[in-house]
Amino acid sequence: MIERKILNIHLHDLSNQELEKLFLSWLGGNEQKIIVTPNPEFLLLARRDKEFADILNRADLSLPDGFGLKLVSHLRHRHTGVDTLEHLAKLPVTMCLLGSAKNAMAAAEIFKQKNPQIKISIVDPNQVASTGEVSETVLTEINKNSPNILAVGLGQGKQERFIVKNLARLPSVRLAIGVGGAFDMISGQLPRAPRFMRQMGLEWLWRLVIEPKRWRRIARAVLIFPIVVIYDKIRGLKSV
């Protein structure tokens, strides 16, 4: 597994074929694995939040999500939360989608149409603390269907903290992954950028058009992130 590092966060560079082989191996094993999908915003947050940085670096698999990560590194591949979740949903698995019930249910129906073998449960946790803590009822509801994959769509930081704090209490889960707003996009609630824009790394422009209120977040990812990376590299050279 090829590993890169950007702003002191480890990232793994795998092809789709390598990724599927790894997923099947882990699903057939007895260990619980944590998958994170860092994008530029993740890395900027981790720069000022050591706990979050430690969570990302302790993950078993860190898949680069964001064209900006490819631009500032030697990464050959990137895997968005949406793409990775769709990849997992093609496998004969039992999956739990944790997040907004409406969009998660719509996403689950799409997965079932494409893969009749998949078994999916939906759990809406309602309020989740910023620390990732939830009520005992939520964990009981997840365990009810013994999922071997848990996809958590609670947003950056909160979903990763939830997984780290609660995975040991979800014994059937073999792969736990934070997927951000993947349920919204897969369900069609938020239309995904056309393929040509994704290939050109212009998803940020698409998000700006359909969600102009996100302009601050997009500016951090598109403008501030590369500046911080360049600054970090210059500072590293000066210290040598």
Residue 237: pLDDT band with limits 50, 70, 90: low
Q: What is the pLDDT at residue 73?
A: 80
Query: Which residues have C-beta within 8 Å of that of residue 131, sequence separation ≥ 6?
Result: 161, 165
| Number of helices (H), then strands (E), in the chain | 13, 8
What are the CA-CA distances from residue 84 to residues 45, 109, 158 (Å)?
22, 17, 19
Contact 173, 149 (CB under 8 A): yes
Q: What is the pLDDT at residue 120?
A: 96
**Partners of 3 in the β-ladder:** 12
Tens digits of residue pLDDT in 188-209: 888 888 888 887 777 878 888 8
Of the candidates 185, 240, 174, 180, the residue with the CA atom closest to the CA atom of residue 210: 185
Q: What is the pLDDT at residue 240?
A: 44
Kindly state the DSSP code that residue 168 receives in the 8-state scheme. G
pLDDT for 239 beyond 70: no
What are the CA-CA distances from residue 180 to residues 57, 73, 133, 153, 235 (Å)?
18, 23, 17, 5, 32
Q: In the chain, where are the structural domains located?
A: 2-191
pLDDT for 227 beyond 90: no
Q: What is the pLDDT at residue 219?
A: 82
pLDDT for 36 beyond 90: yes
Measured CA to CA, the distance from residue 149 to residue 27 in angstroms comes to 8
Average model confidence (pLDDT) across the chain = 89
Tens digits of residue pLDDT in 100-135: 888 999 999 999 999 999 999 999 988 787 888 888
Tens digits of residue pLDDT in 133-190: 888 999 999 999 999 999 999 988 999 999 999 999 999 999 999 998 899 999 888 8
Contact 3, 67 (CB under 8 A): no
Measured CA to CA, the distance from residue 192 to residue 48 in angstroms comes to 30
Helices (H), the chain: 16-27, 40-48, 50-58, 67-71, 81-88, 101-114, 136-143, 158-166, 182-187, 195-199, 203-210, 215-219, 225-239
Looking up tokens 């780290």 gives: 164
Residue 23, classed as helix, strand or coil, is helix
Q: What is the pLDDT at residue 161?
A: 96
